[in-house]
Amino acid sequence: MKYLHHPDREEIQLSSVLYALSDPVRLFIISEIQRSGERSCGEIDVPVVKSTLSHHSRTLREAGVVHVRVHGTQRLLSLRTEDLEYRFPGLLGSILEAYERTGEKIQ
pLDDT digits (tens, 9 = 90+) for 25-63: 999 999 999 999 999 988 988 888 888 999 999 999 999
Distance between CA atoms of residues 97 and 100, nearest Å: 5
The domain 10-102: what is its CATH number?
A: 1.10.10.10
Domain locations in the chain?
10-102
Radius of gyration in angstroms for the set of CA atoms belonging to the chain, rounded to a whole number: 13
Estimate the crossing angle of helix 50-63 against helix 24-36, to 10 degrees.
80
Answer whether 0.75 is exceeded by the pTM.
yes
Cβ neighbors of 80 (< 8 A, separation 6 or more) are: 6, 12, 64, 65, 66, 67
Confidence of residue 1 (pLDDT cuts 50, 70, 90): low
Under a CB-based contact definition with an 8 Å cutoff, are residues 37 and 77 in contact? Answer: no
Torsion of CA 38, 43, 47, 52, to 10 degrees: 70
